Amino acid sequence: MILKRRKFLNHLGAISAGYAFGGGYFPRNLAEDTIKITVLHTNDTHSRIDPFPDHAGKLAGKGGAAARSAYINKVRSKENHVLLLDAGDIWQGTPYFNEYQGQLEFDLMSKMKYDAATLGNHDFDLGIDGLIKQWQHAHFPFVCSNYDFSDTALTGLTQDYFVIEKSGIRIGVVGLGIQLEGLVPAKLFSGLKYLDPIETANKMAKKLKRDMNCDFIIALSHLGYQYKSKKVSDRKLARHSENLDLIIGGHTHTFLNGIQTVKNKNGEKVAINQVGYGGAMIGHIELWFDAKKKKRSKVCQNCWV
């Protein structure tokens, strides 16, 4: 079930329970040889350094960098293998961005030790030159698989894919950005070539699976959860994908109260999650693998902070 914004406001106080990707609850009596990897994720934090103000209705007091950091640290203190990711639109939305032009956001994410992020359309609000100016403050890689920066000053600064290993489990990450034309003034992304996100995702996922020996593949997507038009969305991506296991979304500010699943072109389930905007919620996904690195189950618990 998707919580639309008005409906979501009526449910804000509730914390979603843990849901298995396939539905139902996940049994906790796991064998000792299972490997647990926790994926924490954010999207569309939009320079929300402080909690939402008192006049923000049901969002009042939610979010903020301090609360997010506290939650991340709490999880890390309990779990051995944690992966922290962001699906874009880090910048723009509060006076902090106007004052510090993105440096503060990157500094705080670096202190929280994000493992990887992708770029959203608002991350181009100061242009490619603005991004480069603050690049040194981002001590984590940006994965931008379908943005070709070869004719821009960003060439060589982003990655087409990212691989991280946790307790022998290899996790591959691709990053998929939205078409900037119509959202961002052309002069701010001059030279950037936009590549088809579905074709790019399948190409990169195949490489990660076959050449990089990845056991689990995540797409960091700033495409948007779904549209009434034919525009590429996370759900459309999932339907036409191969080898993707999880899509962590952004852009549409969609609050999901649990993992959504869509069957890909081969009839296999792809999980999709997105946690609204402003850092009011953190996605919390538990991945369980057996001793042979085979997926056993996946649990999602999106938590308000």
HSE (side-chain half, CA atoms, 13 Å) at 188: 15
The span from the CA of 260 to the CA of 270, in Å, is: 8
What is the C-alpha radius of gyration for the chain, rounded to an integer number of angstroms? 18
* C-alpha 157: how far from chain center: 19
The span from the CA of 79 to the CA of 296, in Å, is: 18
Share of the chain above pLDDT 70, in %: 88
Q: Please provide the average confidence, as pLDDT, over all residues in the chain.
A: 90
If one counts the domains in the chain, the total is 1
* C-alpha 278: how far from chain center: 13
Please check the confidence at residue 169 and state whether its pLDDT lies above 70: yes
Place of tokens 């002069």: 187
Please check the confidence at residue 29 and state whether its pLDDT lies above 50: no
Q: What is the DSSP letter of 210?
A: I
> What is the residue range of 204's domain?
33-304
Residue 28 lies in a domain: no
The span from the CA of 216 to the CA of 35, in Å, is: 13
The span from the CA of 211 to the CA of 160, in Å, is: 14
The CATH number covering residue 124 comes to 3.60.21.10
Residue 251 lies in a domain: yes
Per-residue tokens: 94:
């509060």
User: Which residue, among 156, 160, 161, 117, has the nearest Cα to 139 in the 3D structure?
Assistant: 117
Q: Are 214 and 170 in contact (CB under 8 A)?
A: yes
The predicted model scores a pTM of 0.90
Q: φ, ψ for residue 182 (rounded to 5)?
A: 95, -15
Residue 10 lies in a domain: no
Per DSSP, the residues of 145-200 read TTEE-TTSTTTTTSBSEEEEEETTEEEEEEEEPPP-BTTB-GGGGTT-EE--HHHH
Residue 19 lies in a domain: no
What per-residue confidence (pLDDT) applies to 20?
43
What per-residue confidence (pLDDT) applies to 295?
67
Please check the confidence at residue 241 and state whether its pLDDT lies above 90: yes
Per-residue tokens: 37:
């990897």
Q: Are 15 and 255 in contact (CB under 8 A)?
A: no
Residue 18 lies in a domain: no
Residue 277 lies in a domain: yes
Find the range with the poorest average confidence among 63-67, 232-236, 257-261, 263-267. Answer: 257-261
Residue 55 lies in a domain: yes
**Predicted confidence band of residue 12 (pLDDT cuts 50, 70, 90):** very low
Each residue's pLDDT tens digit, 80-117:
999 999 999 999 999 999 999 999 999 999 999 999 99
Residue 125 lies in a domain: yes
3-state secondary structure of 35: strand
